[in-house]
């Protein structure tokens, strides 16, 4: 099956508390809300991608990244998110600083990870 050029990517995020998650994705991350109904809240993630936030009482987070953004200035974005209460994770990685910014050995890529209110692991990535 071929994916048509007009297709838009949709990612699904589960939450146990939709109102709490809506505050995070809408207010903290400032994703524009496209629609809201009894089944989901739909956000515009930019570049034509869509986020579908759905309720799931039995949801449990995982230890792998489920959603990320490629951004042009990771340090500025991290500072803006920190100002809104987002805490970046520090892993036991050689190339990660105490602020949570990981840099590849060649310096061509930087990344940072944080969690949403349900524990979903999210990331920011900057490539040069």
pLDDT in tens, 24-52: 999 999 999 999 999 999 999 988 899 99
Mean pLDDT along residues 79-90: 96
Q: What percent of the chain has pLDDT over 70?
A: 96
Q: How confident is the model at residue 6 (pLDDT cuts 50, 70, 90)?
A: confident
- State which fold the 10-127 domain adopts: 2,3-Dihydroxybiphenyl 1,2-Dioxygenase; domain 1 (3.10.180)
Strands (DSSP E) along the chain, which ranges? 10-15, 33-36, 40-46, 49-55, 65-70, 102-103, 109-115, 121-127
Domain boundaries, the chain: 10-127
Q: Which tops the pLDDT comparison, 85 or 61?
A: 85
Average pLDDT, the chain: 92
Give buried/exposed letters for 65-90 (b at 16+ CB in 10 A, else e).
Answer: ebbebebeebeebbeebeeeebebee
pTM: 0.89
């Amino acid at each position: 099956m071929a994916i048509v050029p007009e297709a838009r990517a949709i990612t699904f995020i589960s939450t146990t508390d939709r109102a709490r998650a809506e505050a995070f994705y809408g207010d903290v991350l400032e994703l524009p809300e496209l629609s809201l109904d009894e089944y989901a809240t739909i956000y515009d993630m930019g570049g034509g991608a869509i986020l579908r936030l759905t309720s799931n009482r039995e949801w449990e987070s995982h230890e792998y990244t489920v959603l990320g953004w490629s951004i042009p200035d990771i340090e500025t974005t991290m500072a803006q998110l920190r100002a809104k209460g987002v805490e970046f994770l520090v892993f036991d990685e050689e190339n990660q600083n105490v602020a949570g910014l990981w840099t590849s050995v060649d310096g061509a890529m930087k990344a940072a990870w944080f969690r949403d209110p349900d524990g979903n692991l999210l990331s920011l990535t900057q490539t040069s």
